[in-house]
Amino acid sequence: MNFFSDKWRVALLIIVLLLALFIVVQPELKSSNSAVEKAMSYINETLLGGANTASLSSVVDNDIESLHRVKIEVQGNIFDVFVSSDGKYLFIDGPIDMTASINQQGDVSEMASKESVNVEGGFKEISEVDVCTDENGKPLVYFFGSETCPHCEWQKPIMTELSQLFGDNINYHENFDGSTEADILLKYGNGSVPALIIGCKYYRIGSGEATSVAEDTEAVKDVICRATGGIPASICE
């Protein structure tokens, strides 16, 4: 009788210990899951802005206290990011306060941190930057995109049409799914596409889909005319 009593006492003790462990660990697991979910939402909605989609690859054990190491996949590439266990900070190149708006983050990129005003088509005009040109004095026009990005595919015919319209009056660079001139792209944002950079002075991250094709074509044309100084007059009058 004592033998069975001892066995039941041991079994009961094990059950109590397991329940205690579950109670202690479970809130941390929920906290971890919540922080990771919040980080993924922030990356997709705020940093990538719908231009690309990041998917969760894995959550890796991390030696840094109060940080979760998260592997994300974007366009087939795997990146490591870190999120604080309280779900407040995301670490990529530096800490990002996910409780603040994107405009409160500080130096998002070199050009985005400069003073600017809004012009046609959702473009920003950087006040302290002069229009950049090639050796022949033609404004440099950059269009960055990806074949897997539907917003880029929407913008592409507009840029093709305008590059042909302006012809030899601009130096047009189209970069799709490549690392060519990626340093220029990262000066104006976080690598999100589509991105239009006109004469280094005007830029827009995102497509013009909020308007019609005709309206966006006219808006982008007007911004290119700003960069060319109204040349050619037949287009920019």
Per-residue pLDDT tens for 85-96? 788 777 765 455
**Which residue matches tokens 């039941």?**
8
Q: Which domains does the chain have, with CATH numbers?
A: 2-100 (no CATH), 116-236 (3.40.30.10)
pLDDT of residue 77: 62
DSSP state of 139: B
**Which residue matches tokens 């202690």?**
24
User: Worst-scoring range by mean pLDDT, 96-100, 112-116, 161-165?
Assistant: 96-100
232 half-sphere exposure, CB direction, 13 A CA radius = 10
User: Worst-scoring range by mean pLDDT, 46-50, 68-72, 104-108?
Assistant: 104-108
Determine the average pLDDT of the residues in 97-107.
49
Q: In what order do the strands lie in the sheet with 116-118?
A: 116-118, 124-126, 202-205, 195-198, 140-145, 171-176
Residue 35's H or E segment, with its range, is helix 2-42
pLDDT of residue 107: 44
CA distance 159 to 179: 20
pLDDT of residue 71: 77
Q: 46: Cβ–Cβ under 8 A, 6 or more apart, which residues?
A: 102
